[in-house]
């Protein structure tokens, strides 16, 4: 019996055991409506105004105490597209986001399903512009070497928190296999996380095996946020990715092997208003494939549920690069132009419920 069959059998057994508990769970409905109006300019031929849906979502979650030492929990979450048009990244209005079932107790927690890998979640401490124009994934999630994934067929263990430290270990069998042939299609992702009163940090590693469709790759990521004062938080980020796909040329491997790093900060100018800024650079092994990104923004919380913001972002590309500050986590995703400065101005509204 293959590893995949062992995994599938274990997952089904655990799911069957958890279903009765989930059926009696206290279920809550939550979601996010996040829409922005953007003016996007690729520096060449494209210069248009767009309406974008930015990782809007609807979800159901719940938990049920089996006994004082064991609790079952679940979550079902779907992305919802509030816009449509020729520049949309998807022709569908719904897509599965973090959806899982699990058990937790004094041992920590174990969950199974489709959800963010530990490597992806590790960007959190430095993620000032998540799901907005200027999202750091526009530089960290590039081509077939990308990580920042939400893998199918995943089991993840999270340790208890000890003095602010916790760990995550995720294992994914996320690719289609070929009958009768053993393929290396697994992904291993792990992180060490710290959350304290002033410092939040994460160190992560992820490795995808050679037959995972996009080829073998591994990456290391570090992100940190430090509250210098009650009003000012500084953030730092570093990622290195090594792309090893034997099916492509050395030139392509050099284009996708890269170091990405940056610094930023958030300054509260009022109880509900903050100014944010971040600089990032992607340094590829190949010549003339580098990109720099600058983002500045202001965000105002109307209350706990509703916020408005305005961001301005620029990506400056080398001659052979064509990245933009708007590709990730949004429905408006026109392409970029080689060697140009791609810029965008975004005004957004986010309502969490």
- DSSP for 302-334? SSSSEEEEEEEEEEEE-TT----SSSTT-SB--
Instruction: Provide the pLDDT for residue 5.
Output: 44
Architecture of the 3-352 domain: Beta Barrel (2.40)
Instruction: Provide the pLDDT for residue 180.
Output: 55
Instruction: Provide the pLDDT for residue 88.
Output: 44
pLDDT along the chain (353 residues), means of 10: 46 49 73 97 96 97 96 97 60 81 98 97 98 98 92 95 98 66 82 98 94 88 98 98 92 97 98 98 98 98 98 98 96 95 98 97
Residue 125's nearest CA partner among 236, 269, 238 is 236
Q: Is 243 exposed, middle or buried (CB count within 10 Å of its CB: 0-12, 13-18, 19+)?
A: buried
Return all residues near 319 (Cβ < 8 A) that are at least 6 apart. Answer: 288, 338, 339
Instruction: Provide the pLDDT for residue 174.
Output: 60
Whether 235 and 264 have beta carbons less than 8 Å apart is answered as yes
Instruction: Provide the pLDDT for residue 84.
Output: 64
What backbone torsions phi and psi does residue 144 show, to the nearest 5 degrees?
Answer: -75, -10
Instruction: Provide the pLDDT for residue 22.
Output: 44
Instruction: Provide the pLDDT for residue 21.
Output: 46
Neighbours of 242 (CB within 10 A): 16
Reading the block at residue 306, the tokens are: 């509703």
Instruction: Provide the pLDDT for residue 185.
Output: 81
Whether 167 and 159 have beta carbons less than 8 Å apart is answered as yes
Half-sphere exposure of 328 (CA within 13 A, CB side): 20
């Amino acid at each position: 019996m293959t590893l995949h069959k062992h995994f599938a059998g274990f997952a089904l057994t655990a799911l069957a055991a958890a279903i009765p508990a989930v059926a009696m769970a206290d279920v809550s409905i939550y979601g996010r409506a996040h829409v922005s109006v953007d003016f996007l300019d690729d520096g060449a031929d494209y210069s248009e105004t767009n309406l974008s849906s930015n990782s809007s979502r609807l979800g159901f979650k719940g938990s049920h105490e089996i006994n004082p030492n064991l609790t079952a929990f679940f979550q079902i979450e779907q992305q919802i597209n509030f816009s449509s048009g020729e520049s949309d990244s998807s022709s569908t209005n719904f897509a599965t986001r973090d959806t899982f079932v699990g058990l937790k107790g004094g041992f920590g927690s174990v969950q199974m399903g489709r959800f963010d890998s530990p490597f992806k979640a590790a960007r959190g401490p430095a993620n000032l512009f998540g799901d907005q124009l200027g999202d750091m994934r526009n530089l960290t999630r590039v081509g077939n070497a990308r990580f920042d994934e939400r893998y199918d067929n995943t089991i993840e263990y999270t340790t208890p928190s000890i003095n602010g430290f916790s760990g995550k270990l995720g294992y994914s069998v996320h690719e289609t296999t070929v009958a009768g042939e053993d393929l290396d299609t697994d992904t291993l992702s792990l992180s060490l996380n710290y959350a304290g009163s002033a410092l939040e940090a994460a160190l992560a590693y992820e490795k995808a095996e050679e037959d995972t469709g996009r080829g073998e790759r591994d990456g290391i990521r570090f992100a940190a946020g430090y509250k210098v004062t009650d009003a000012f938080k500084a953030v730092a980020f570093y990622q290195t990715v090594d792309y090893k796909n034997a099916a492509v040329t050395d030139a392509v491997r050099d284009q996708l092997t890269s170091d990405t790093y940056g610094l930023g900060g958030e300054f509260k100018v009022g109880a509900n208003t903050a100014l944010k800024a971040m600089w990032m650079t992607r340094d590829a092994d190949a010549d003339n494939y580098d990109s720099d990104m600058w983002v500045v923004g202001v965000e105002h919380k109307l209350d706990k549920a509703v916020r408005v913001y305005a961001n301005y972002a620029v990506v400056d590309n080398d001659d052979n690069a064509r990245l933009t500050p708007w590709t990730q986590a949004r429905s408006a995703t026109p392409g970029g132009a080689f060697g140009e400065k791609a810029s965008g101005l975004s005004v957004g509204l986010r309502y969490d419920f």
